[in-house]
A = this chain, B = another copy of it.
Amino acid sequence: MTKSACIVGGGVIGGGWAARFALNGWDVRVFDPDPEAERKISEVMTNARRAMPMVVDVALPEEGNVTLCATLEEAAEGAALIVEAVPERVDIKRKVYAQIEAVNTDGIIASSTSGIMPSDLQAEMAHPGRLIVAHPFNPVYLLPLVELVAGKQTDAAHIETAKKIYSGLGMYPLHCRVEIEGFLSDRLQEALWREALWLLHDDVATAAEIDAAIAYGPGLRWAQMGTMQTFHLAGGEGGMRAMLAMFGPCLKWPWTKLMDVPELTDDFVNKVGDQCDTQAGGLGPRALETIRDDNLIGIIRSMKRANWGAGAVARAHDDVLREVPSDAAPMVTQDRVVPIDWTDINGHMNEGRYGQIFSDAAEAVMAAVGADEAYITDQGLSYFTVETTVKYLAETHAGERVVVHTAVTEGRGKKLRCFHEMKRASDGEVMATCDQLMLHVSLETRRTCEPPADVVARVETLATLHAKE
């Protein structure tokens, strides 16, 4: 059964939510009175359709329908989940909730607010128990974090339901257990931003220099460990206690502009805006978004191998989406989109990545005969490739969906030989073939050995089945 959600507000955040849900197979009904809403949502969807499939290593489900509704009532009626992403004003949000409550009495209402307390948001609701905060981060279709916050009247069961929903969307639901304004992430971001504004205000540094002071140093650490674990490590063998002894006193000197906030005069706003424009170096928001998204894809993908941080979330998402191939020939052993980091200077998929996709296809065959991850790590047995011949028949580009069909062409004893065909999903054109010979090995001796009887039997069954086709 297709899941469906209602989204009220179609800006950067509402559009991002629409993309995150729809690309995970949810139908989405959106309401936004802005006459530009359709264009704006469609631009976010375009970004997301390009970027999100490049984070996953399997196929996303069929995209859900995104319907723009003429009225809020039409969008909200019957929805089990209503995402609110309207401007950050309590009065506007409360008015939206009242409209929702007129047509929908039991759906969970999830506010995207960046920092307003859910207890304030739910104060005038008829059914306040169903309001939660689910605060995402831009771009919503790539960043996994979503902060979940309950108000005083929130039904605790809804937080648990929300955790399951957002995990299923490939996100990391962080339950902020104590309700404070700004929650956790924006408290931390705001502290940084305020200091950055002071540095710019006082002409200590430009926007570009302030950003360089993060992106070439601490930011590379924060992508994988927060400030606490980073300093725990920076403290050397003494850990965080050593850091507090060394730098704790600095907090009191104080280095930072503790006491005050720069006045947001027109002059100052223009100064900041001008410097950000200069920093962009002529790149418009769409071009910068593409660079940002490509970098996020690469950064998140880079942590998948170690199963760490955002990479671990992405791997768990793959597991949710992955389908087990059937035995029948052709076995579908890969079904995925070519990510941007697989391309080279010629603007197409690098030949090494053909090797990788065929290696991944072989892993699917191995899993199908019982030589899966547990077999490798627990039993210390595996298959190693000894020879491959790849024919490159057509160019493959980033963003293209490709499918690998595999036949087991020889399967007896230690030998497992596969013939892979990689096809473009849209028209079935064969883009490359790979003849791959593997031998069964012991990971202890690193030499060939006979596989257990049940694995041999499965290999032989597949070889017989595929020979008939």
A190, B255: Cα distance in complex, Å: 8
A138 touches B234 (CB 8 A): yes
A42, B377: Cα distance in complex, Å: 32
If over half of A's interface residues share one DSSP class (helix, strand or loop), that class is named, otherwise mixed; here it is helix
**How many interface residues does chain A have, given as a range?**
35 or more
Q: Which of A99-107, A267-275, A456-464 contacts B (4 or more CB under 8 A)?
A: A267-275
A324 touches B (CB below 8 Å): no
B298 touches A303 (CB 8 A): yes
> Which among B187, B228, B344, B395 is the interface contact of A211 at CB below 8 angstroms?
B228
B387 touches A389 (CB 8 A): yes
- A:301-324 near B, CB below 8 Å: 301-303, 305-306, 308-310, 313
B313 touches A305 (CB 8 A): no
A350 touches B (CB below 8 Å): yes
> Which among B203, B223, B233 is the interface contact of A285 at CB below 8 angstroms?
B233
B225 touches A222 (CB 8 A): no
B355 touches A227 (CB 8 A): no
Q: Which of A77-85, A150-158, A191-199, A409-417 contacts B (4 or more CB under 8 A)?
A: A191-199
A299 touches B (CB below 8 Å): yes
A160 touches B (CB below 8 Å): no
Residues of B with C-beta under 8 A to A446: 395
- A:382-402 near B, CB below 8 Å: 382, 384-392, 395
> Which among B221, B302, B313, B392 is the interface contact of A341 at CB below 8 angstroms?
B302
> Which among B224, B227, B303, B313 is the interface contact of A192 at CB below 8 angstroms?
B227
A237 touches B199 (CB 8 A): no
> Which among B227, B254, B308 is the interface contact of A214 at CB below 8 angstroms?
B227
Question: Which B-chain residue is minimally distant from A228 (CB atoms)?
Answer: B207
Q: List 24 A-B contacts (CB under 8 A).
A: A88-B247, A144-B217, A145-B212, A145-B216, A174-B209, A178-B204, A180-B204, A180-B255, A181-B255, A185-B218, A188-B213, A196-B226, A211-B228, A212-B226, A215-B310, A218-B222, A220-B223, A228-B275, A233-B292, A245-B269, A299-B299, A352-B355, A352-B358, A387-B390
